[in-house]
Every structure is written in structure tokens, then in C-alpha cells.
Structure 1
């Protein structure tokens, strides 16, 4: 008999993956150039040349046993020290290697922390809609409750009124994602400061730490007029989850880290706890080769300016057509309102024009759609007339 919990999850397939797979099948019929797939957040720009140079250098300089051998559970010390030093330069922190734990991307970071920060079904982690749907899977794995705060759809900042109602003595962590997937929203400095002040107050009231888990895979993708605050500056009990999937365009290599300062609660045992939690996820170290690669490219990024140009082109064109959309401050997603109450029905109608969009229900924010614009600019230009036909069709029915 298979696990009932796992079998239940098979009935909750990823809508993003389903649409992506539909697009591949549709391309066989009409040709890939005629399918406008905006479903998946797969970086469209190549990794920087420094990544290839790092790989070549490691292959040339290190013997096979060294370059492919096991790494320590927490990560290669020199790599962790390099990352710590980079963060110290960027954000005026005081990290050391012992404040960095290497992970298989931000997803593994979150799965590890859901286990480390909670003790059972009574505990809760709070997050905010719209949110990345995999957060629910991490909660199921850890056996804890994920409390979702409804979205403020006028700005996609934190809905503090509801948050204050939902905070309880069972709250062990608050999970934030800025720049946000799927809305592209960037939390303002005022939002972060208000959240920090509220949690400081609640920590004293409840007599235990409440951690902020800051999910930051899109940290480097931020646009003019917006600023991504470094959360540990405002709240000591912060754990930062980072991935090189977007900044270096390395999603398939699964490489990232958790960072925490020595001012965090339980700092003396945090690294050891992270190691043991990773064991519960059945891995003992992150791939050695790409730990060494990211250390050599630690201050580099792919050409992220492409996303800024795509956002400028796509967002303004949709708004001019009449779509309602909060301007994204980062990441590579638009999150406009659907043109009818049922976002799933809207996305089905969009397929008539071979526009593949993701309905927002699984993001905890019904009535919207996610549009991933990590695509070639030419594809956006060719898709825009189809978005115009789609909205004109709805207007014609009124």
C-alpha cells in the first residue's frame, strides 16, 4: 500500500507544468513559433561566460577525485567563506563561513527550514498570497500548517490587518518572497520595517523566536524605481534562502544557500540543525563541482537587463490595451487580473489564440493570471496582437 499522503498529492498536479507540457504538444501541431508559452519561469538568457570559464578552470586545475568528491555536509568551507565575504561586501554584514549552509537551490533551503523551525502539526508558518505553490508541499513534508494571508491586490504589499489576526503563539516563522513569484511585487522598506516591528513585539509577547524566512531567488532582478531591502538589516531572526538559478541562469544545477547572522536566536546550534534537517531530505552534500563554480562567479550575473526590457515592453502594452495589472518591481512575471471572474476559464479561452497563461488559483489569489516573460523579446512582440484580440473579444460581449 502506497503512502496515502503522497497519493493525495498526485491529485494536485502543478498547473504550471501541465500548461508547459500542453505547450510542447501543441507545438507539434502548429509549430513552436506559433505557441506563445508564458507558463514557466525558466531563464531565457544564458549563463555568463564566467560560468564556462570556471568549469574549464576546475576541470584543468583539479584532479578528478578532488573535483567530484564528497563535500562536507554544510558545504565546502572555502566556498562558504567566499559567499560570506561577497554578502559582507554587498550588504555590510558580518557573515563567516559558519553562517552559510549550501543547499540544492532555494527549494531545498525552504524544505530544510520548514523542518528545522517547527515541531509538529500545532505549529504554523505564515506566508502571503500570492505565493509559490510549492510552499504547500514543504508544509506537508514537515507536517505543519501553512497559514496564507489574503493578498492586498491593490499593491501586493503585506495585508497587516489580517496578519495581526493570524499571528498566534504557534507561529514559528513568517515566509516572505520579494521580488515575488507570481506578482513581481517588491516589498517596500516600509513594509519590511513594519513587519520587523510587529514580529519583535510578538516575540516578546509569546516568549519565543518568530523567524522571518526570506525566499530570495529573484533578488538581483529588480527594476528602476524599486529596491530590494536586505531583511537581516531590519530583523535579526532572519534566514535568507538564495538560489543561483535566476541570477546566473543555472536552474538545472540546483545550487543555493541559507544565510543567517550570529545575532539570530539559536545561532550556536543553527548550522548543525540545518545539517540534520538536510539528512531528513535524504542528501548529505550539495554537488561539489557547482559549489566551486559559483564561488568563482560569486559576484557575477547573467545579462538580466533583458528582463527589464521585456517588462517595460509587456507591462505597458497590456495596460494600454485595458488589462489591469500592478506594475512589477522585479522578477520576470506579470500578474494581471483575468478578464472574467474564473481565471481558469479565461486561460482556457486564451488557448484559442495559443496564449498559454497560468491561472492564479494555485497561487492563493483567484481572479488573476501569471505571465512569465523570461522569453525572447520578439516572442512578446508577436504575442501582443493576440492579447489585443483576446481583450477585444471580451469587450465585444459586453
Structure 2
């Protein structure tokens, strides 16, 4: 879709093509980030471009741990932080560490399109659980999907493609259910939270951290969206300080990342994001765009759940075949993505 948009712009002109296909951040990084980047590249810091410990620079991990501790209300140390090449690299490292062949990983539809591929990369099986009409996980369906082969459950909130943020009550119920099913099957199930949109929330509602609701939990995120650094591929993993086996998992993830080719996250970017953990792009601009699109689409008769965060809308298609509808829009130089790719036909992003 991204390449298709480029070709259409060559033919029709950039102003005449409306490309909503890729979650490519519109906003530039905060000034503090760019100022820091200039300072780093002009200060001749010794060793800046060399290898560092596999988990990342201790100073970067320490700053992230401090920030997460403040956000979550828990005591998180640098020994629970691993710098990664974006959330995608981090998630693959986690899955490679956890999965044996035919282990199952549950995702909630609609889900980020790459999840099932990441799971199959490591010989796991993706299992799809349902959400309700507001795209909140249905706990009773999740219970039916958990088996003795379930190794992990992935949540993504605020969600891509819906923008919906799961309420704390839902996270709590998921954690309670996991404990119940672990006891039933004498197993260990990890809760993985993919959080690139954690700081892109349009209300004053506090973000519900998973660590308090299930000890065997892992956060993976990137600065692609909150700092507008999608092309820089910088993120991190945080293990729960409440997980008694976190040291074993920490070492396993480091080894997995190395064998997947992610030897170190980019040195320059690790240092560049170190001092901007409290920064975020101007989300008021994203909110204005959300309100404009949501208000006008619903006035036209589209049905859509109003997003709590991120920068997507996921309306119902006016015809049953979402792929056909997206192809019709393309005839008018409007590029969108069919809901089938996210595991939810009859919608488009």
C-alpha cells in the first residue's frame, strides 16, 4: 500500500492522493530530541558508536526504568530493561524465548496485522479471541481459547487498528483468568503488552499497567509513535519486577535477539532517547484530526467506535465485502486497509 501510494502521487500529484494506509507518524519529533541528537553527533563522545552491553547502554536503561517506575508506581530497575530495534524486534525476541513448537499465543481481533506472522516465525500457533462491539476483549471467549498449550496472550492498547484503550477492569479480569487457567493446566502463561501508543491518549484517564495484574508479564514498546521516530527503529522491553523468573527470561531474550540478528539496538538512538522519556509529540494535533474524521464520517452515516488514543479509525464498511470497498475507495485515490487483515472483516482502517 505504501509503495502504491507513492506511485499514485506521481500520477495524480501529492495533494490529490489521500493515503491512510500506513501508520506512519505525521508529527516531527520533539525539539528536545533533535537538540539532543545534534549535541550527541557534534560532541565527539568517546565510544558512542561502539558495541555496548547486549541489553543496551546502562544509562539509557536506567533512565527508562526511572520513567516507568514513576508511571507504573512500581520499582523497576535497569536490570529489567532491554533496548530493542523497535517493538517488532522486541516482540520477536520475546516470542522466540517463550515458545516451543505448537505452543499457542492468543491475540484479540482486531489485531496488528503482523502478530500472526511473528508467532509463526517461532513455530507457534496464533489463536484469535473475540472482542465486543466496542472492541473490548470478551473474557468468556478468552477462557474458551486458553488450553494446556497456551503460552502467551498479547494485548495492544490503545489498539491498532481501533484506537480503543482497554479499561483497567478488563486488564484485571484477564490477569485473574490467567491465574485460574494456569492452576487448571499447571502451566505458565505470559501476558505481553505491546504499547507503542501508550502515551497517545486523548483523555486524562490513567494508563493501566499490566504488571500489577499478572506477575508473568512483559511490556514491549517503541518510540515510533510517541516521539515520531518510526524510521529509527528504537524501543525497549520491560520485564515485570514481580516475576520471580525474570532473570531467566531476561537472559533468554538477550540470546534470542542476538540469534535473530538484533545484536544491539542502535547506539546513537539509545543515547538520543535517554533524556527525552518525559517528552511526547503534540497529541492535540492528532486529537483534532481524530475529532474531524470521526465527526464527519459519522455524519455521513458510517458506524465507528470513537478512539481513545493512537491515530486510527476503524469504521464499519457500508458493504459486507471490506476488500471490495477498499478497492472502490482506491478508484478515488483514497488508500485504506481492509479489516480482514486485522482479523475483523466488514471494517476498514
Q: If the length of structure 1 is used for normalisation, what is the TM-score?
A: 0.85
Match of 1:89 among 58, 62, 70: 70
Deviation at 1:225, TM superposition (A): 6.4
Q: Is the 8 A contact 2:99 2:124 kept in 1?
A: yes
Deviation at 1:232, TM superposition (A): 1.1
Q: How many residues are treated as equivalent by the alignment?
A: 349
**1:143-158 equivalence runs, <5 A:** 143-152=123-132, 154-158=133-137
Q: Is the 8 A contact 2:239 2:250 kept in 1?
A: no
Q: Is the 8 A contact 2:5 2:335 kept in 1?
A: yes
Match of 1:138 among 118, 137, 151: 118
Match of 2:285 among 292, 296, 306: 306
Q: Is the 8 A contact 2:89 2:262 kept in 1?
A: no
Matched, 1:266 2:248: no
Deviation at 1:350, TM superposition (A): 1.2
Q: Name the residue aligned to 1:376.
A: none
Deviation at 1:303, TM superposition (A): 1.3
Match of 2:24 among 42, 46, 49: 42
Deviation at 1:53, TM superposition (A): 1.2
Deviation at 1:52, TM superposition (A): 1.4
Match of 2:348 among 346, 369, 375: 369
Match of 1:229 among 180, 183, 208: 208
Moved more, 34-43 or 49-58: 49-58
In 1, Cα distance between equivalents of 2:272 and 2:51: 15
In 1, Cα distance between equivalents of 2:205 and 2:308: 6
In 1, Cα distance between equivalents of 2:6 and 2:261: 32
Deviation at 1:48, TM superposition (A): 0.6
Q: Name the residue aligned to 2:224.
A: 245
Structure 2 residue matching 1:180: 3-state secondary structure: coil
In 1, Cα distance between equivalents of 2:19 and 2:206: 29
Q: Name the residue aligned to 2:148.
A: 169
**1:185-200 equivalence runs, <5 A:** 185-200=164-179
Deviation at 1:119, TM superposition (A): 1.4
Deviation at 1:227, TM superposition (A): 4.3
1:275-301 Cα shifts (integer Å, max 9, x gaps): 111022112111111100110211111
Q: Is the 8 A contact 1:59 1:67 kept in 2?
A: no
Whichever of the two has the greater Rg, that structure is: 1
Q: Is the 8 A contact 1:179 1:186 kept in 2?
A: yes
Moved more, 278-287 or 95-104: 278-287
Structure 2 residue matching 1:185: 3-state secondary structure: coil
Structure 1 residue matching 2:331: 3-state secondary structure: helix
Q: If the length of structure 2 is used for normalisation, what is the TM-score?
A: 0.97
1:296-319 Cα shifts (integer Å, max 9, x gaps): 211111112111111111111111
Q: Name the residue aligned to 1:53.
A: 35
**1:68-79 equivalence runs, <5 A:** 68-79=49-60
Q: Name the residue aligned to 2:297.
A: 318
Deviation at 1:265, TM superposition (A): 4.3
In 2, Cα distance between equivalents of 1:297 and 1:254: 16
In 1, Cα distance between equivalents of 2:5 and 2:310: 22
In 2, Cα distance between equivalents of 1:268 and 1:91: 20
